[in-house]
Amino acid sequence: MSKRGYHHGNLRQALVDAALELIEAKGPTGFTLSEAAKQAGVTPAAVYRHFAGREDLIAEAARQGYEIFADLMEYAYESGQPSALASFEATGRAYLAFARKYPGHYVAMFESGISVNRTPELAHIAGRARAVLERAAEKLSERIPPEKRPPPQMFSAHIWAMSHGVVELFARGSPGTKSPFPPEDLLESGIGVYLRGLGLIEPDE
């Protein structure tokens, strides 16, 4: 076994990258720390210099995923400005794009059982990602009369749940869940139905 990991200066990141590959191939519980070490080209003992266990390694993969996710959501939000509607719809599409481009991170974040409150750093970055969607919902819901306006956190949670459902059921290639419609179309039409129900877009838009 190569021991190059002892000598290069980024063993911690090499282990995270190895974990991401293994998560994609085997799922978050389908590999051991020893396998991650082998993938990174170091001895199992070297892993413990950086991570106390597999969950710590997955948590770091999740934290890095949330960093990418938050940046992507913020970029999507800004790309729709100054239209509150365009910004809101862009954040929904960004969720789907992220799941497709970063499947290892996505699984570490949402399917590994790792709590976002495991570390302060993970909680902070997860909160930053969530805040983008809440801000988009808040700006869009300003068009709704106050007495009919849902809390932005509820508004954004509904869209997050819809986005997550489309990803899980139709965008991940799960057996037996093939949709006759592209996931992007499902998500866009679902968001459209939701926004029409709130009176935010006209029925013929």
Total-model pTM: 0.84
Burial class (CB in 10 A: 0-12, 13-18, 19+), 154: exposed
Q: Provide block-wise average pLDDT over 10 residues at a time, the chain (205 residues).
A: 49 92 90 88 85 90 95 92 86 88 93 89 92 88 84 88 86 63 85 85 60
pLDDT digits (tens, 9 = 90+) for 36-77: 988 888 888 888 888 888 899 999 999 999 999 999 999 999
Q: Note the pLDDT of residue 202.
A: 65
Instruction: Please say whether the beta carbons of 41 and 3 come within 8 A.
Output: yes
Assigned token pair, 38: 């082998």
Dihedral angle, C-alpha 127, 133, 136, 139, nearest 10 °: -60
Q: Note the pLDDT of residue 56.
A: 92
Characterize 1-25 residue by residue with b for buried, 16 or more Cβ atoms within 10 angstroms of its Cβ, and e for exposed: eeeebeeeeebbebbbbbbbebbee
Instruction: Please say whether the beta carbons of 28 and 113 come within 8 A.
Output: yes
Which residue bears the tokens 């862009």?
90
Assigned token pair, 100: 């497709």
Q: Note the pLDDT of residue 3.
A: 42
Q: Note the pLDDT of residue 167.
A: 86
* 152 preceded by a cis bond (ω within 30 of 0): no
Please give the mean pLDDT across all residues of the chain.
85
3-state class (DSSP) for residue 179: coil
Q: Note the pLDDT of residue 4.
A: 43
Please give the Cα distance from 157 to 163 (Å, whole number).
10
Q: Note the pLDDT of residue 9.
A: 55
Closest-CA residue to 68 (of 109, 114, 34):
109
Domains of the chain (ranges, CATH numbers): 1-51 (1.10.10.60), 55-197 (1.10.357.10)
Please give the Cα distance from 50 to 112 (Å, whole number).
20
The backbone torsions φ and ψ at residue 79, rounded to the nearest 5 degrees and listed phi first, read -65, -25
Q: Note the pLDDT of residue 204.
A: 55
Please give the Cα distance from 64 to 56 (Å, whole number).
12
3-state class (DSSP) for residue 182: coil
Q: Note the pLDDT of residue 1.
A: 37
- Length reported for the chain: 205
Q: Note the pLDDT of residue 47.
A: 84
